[in-house]
Amino acid sequence: MSTSDKPSYNFRMADWQDFTKNLEIRLTDLACARPLYTKDEIFDAAHTLKEVLQDTIRTRIKLQKPLPDKKRWWTGELEDAKRQKNRLGSMHHKLRTFDQHPYKKRWWTGELEDAKRQKNRLGSMHHKLRTFDQHPCHQQFKEAKSAFAKLVIETKRKHWNDWLSEASTKDLWTANKYLRNPTGDGGQPRIPTLEATDPYTDEKVEIATNEEKACMFATTFFPRKPEHS
């Protein structure tokens, strides 16, 4: 076994308050402090102190076996902060329907919550019965998923309109910022509406659907082979 594979004490994740308290108790059990006059007395005292420290380390510090991908910079303070974040994240999810909760999705409604539960219930059934193609739950799940997505959009739109109707001067500036910098999915670029000239009437026509855009690109980038080459 190489040196790097041997278990070592995980001092970074140690509870130093517990370690110090335990060490103090062990030190009080030693003989009372007294002057050391000889070389042997100094060596004996140092040896005793070393044994107390090592025994405290063995009993209060956990061993760890280093992993190849271990974050060696991780500390107990980071671990506590992570637990706190996860605890608040769980609370944030559980209390998302409470109006006064600071983490609430303010557009979320009881109707949305019911629709989500229905969708999840049918989704679970859809997954369990995925080998039964003719079971009605598959179609019901698709309809519930579509209805839930539509309800989310409608609820957000209603919340936005209600917020605008009651917006203060400061809120109007915020709304203007939202409108000037709309959010979107940069990973899914959208081709805007195109304009083309009708070869028969020479009129400008708009091409809005994906099928029409695809046909236009195919015709433009891959023209037909000339009849006489």
Give the model's confidence band at 118: pLDDT under 50 very low, under 70 low, under 90 confident, else very high. confident
Which of 123-137, 143-157, 186-200 is the least confident region? 186-200
Residue 221 reports pLDDT greater than 60: yes
Give the model's confidence band at 160: pLDDT under 50 very low, under 70 low, under 90 confident, else very high. confident
Single out the residue of 64, 57, 62, 67 nearest to residue 26, CA to CA: 57
**CA neighbours closer than 13 Å in the CB half-sphere of residue 38:** 3
The 3-state secondary structure of 122-186, one letter per residue: HHHHHHHCCCCCCCHHHHHHHHHHHHHHHHHHHHHHHHHHHHHHCCCHHHHHHHHHHHHCCCCCC
CB atoms within 10 A of CB 111: 11
CB atoms within 10 A of CB 116: 15
Residue 63: in which H helix or E strand, if any?
strand 63-64
Percent of the chain residues past pLDDT 70, beyond the cut: 79
What's the rounded mean pLDDT across residues 147-174?
Answer: 80
How far is C-alpha 161 from the chain's CA centre?
A: 29
In tens, the pLDDT along 30-83 reads: 766 678 888 888 888 888 888 888 888 888 888 876 655 566 666 777 777 888
Percent of the chain residues past pLDDT 90, beyond the cut: 0
> In this predicted structure, what is the pLDDT of residue 68?
55
Residue with tokens 């019965």: 129
> In this predicted structure, what is the pLDDT of residue 96?
61
What's the rounded mean pLDDT across residues 134-149?
Answer: 85
Residue with tokens 């839930």: 148
The pTM of the whole model exceeds 0.85: no
Residue with tokens 């203007």: 176
- Give the domain ranges of the chain: 9-64, 108-179, 190-222
Give the model's confidence band at 189: pLDDT under 50 very low, under 70 low, under 90 confident, else very high. low
Residue 182 reports pLDDT greater than 60: no
